[in-house]
Amino acid sequence: MSKIDLYRNVHMGQRARLFTLAIELGAADITQSGAAAEQADRCLAMTQELRQHADHEDTFIHQLLRERAPEAADALDAEHIRLDAAFGALDERARALPDTPIEALPDAQHALYLALNEMISAYLAHLHVEETVAMPALWQYAGEEELRAVFTAFRSSRTPEQGLDDLRKMLPALPPASREAIVRGLVNADPDQAGHTLTTVSTTLSPGQRIRLYEDLGVPEVWALQGD
Lowest mean pLDDT among 23-32, 99-108, 182-191: 182-191
Based on the domain organization, do 114 and 31 belong to the same domain?
yes
Q: What is the pTM of this model?
A: 0.91
Based on the domain organization, do 177 and 115 belong to the same domain?
no
User: Is residue 147 a part of any domain in this protein?
Assistant: yes
User: Is residue 2 a part of any domain in this protein?
Assistant: no
User: Which of 130, 153, 176 delimits the end of a domain?
Assistant: 153
User: Is residue 46 a part of any domain in this protein?
Assistant: yes
Residue range(s) defining the domain that contains residue 208: 160-225
Based on the domain organization, do 140 and 179 belong to the same domain?
no
- Secondary structure tally for the chain: helices H, strands E: 12, 0
Based on the domain organization, do 99 and 19 belong to the same domain?
yes
Based on the domain organization, do 189 and 100 belong to the same domain?
no
User: Is residue 1 a part of any domain in this protein?
Assistant: no
| Number of domains comprising the chain | 2
Residue 228: predicted pLDDT: 42
User: Is residue 3 a part of any domain in this protein?
Assistant: no
User: Which of 153, 179, 207 delimits the end of a domain?
Assistant: 153
Distance CA 191, CA 210 (A): 19
User: Is residue 93 a part of any domain in this protein?
Assistant: yes
| Residue 158, phi-psi category: left (phi > 0), alpha (psi -120 to 50), beta (remainder) | beta
The answer to whether the CB of 39 falls within 8 A of the CB of 97 is: yes
Residue 22: predicted pLDDT: 98
* Burial of 19 (C-beta count, 10 Å sphere; 0-12/13-18/19+): middle
Based on the domain organization, do 129 and 178 belong to the same domain?
no
What tens digit of pLDDT does each residue of 31-74 get? 999 999 999 999 999 999 999 999 999 999 989 999 999 999 98
User: Is residue 216 a part of any domain in this protein?
Assistant: yes
Distance CA 17, CA 15 (A): 6
CA distances to 86, 166, 175, 191, 195 from 216, rounded to whole Å, are 41, 21, 12, 17, 15
3-state class (DSSP) for residue 203: coil
CA distances to 33, 64, 110 from 98, rounded to whole Å, are 10, 42, 14
Residue 226: predicted pLDDT: 46
Based on the domain organization, do 68 and 171 belong to the same domain?
no
Based on the domain organization, do 57 and 113 belong to the same domain?
yes
Q: How confident is the model at residue 224 (pLDDT cuts 50, 70, 90)?
A: very low
Based on the domain organization, do 89 and 42 belong to the same domain?
yes
Based on the domain organization, do 147 and 164 belong to the same domain?
no
Distance CA 133, CA 194 (A): 38
Based on the domain organization, do 132 and 41 belong to the same domain?
yes
What tens digit of pLDDT does each residue of 107-134 get? 999 999 999 999 999 999 999 999 999 9
What tens digit of pLDDT does each residue of 144-199 get? 999 999 999 999 999 989 999 999 999 999 999 999 999 999 989 888 888 888 88
CATH of the domain at 106: 1.20.120
User: Which of 132, 153, 174 delimits the end of a domain?
Assistant: 153
Based on the domain organization, do 143 and 181 belong to the same domain?
no
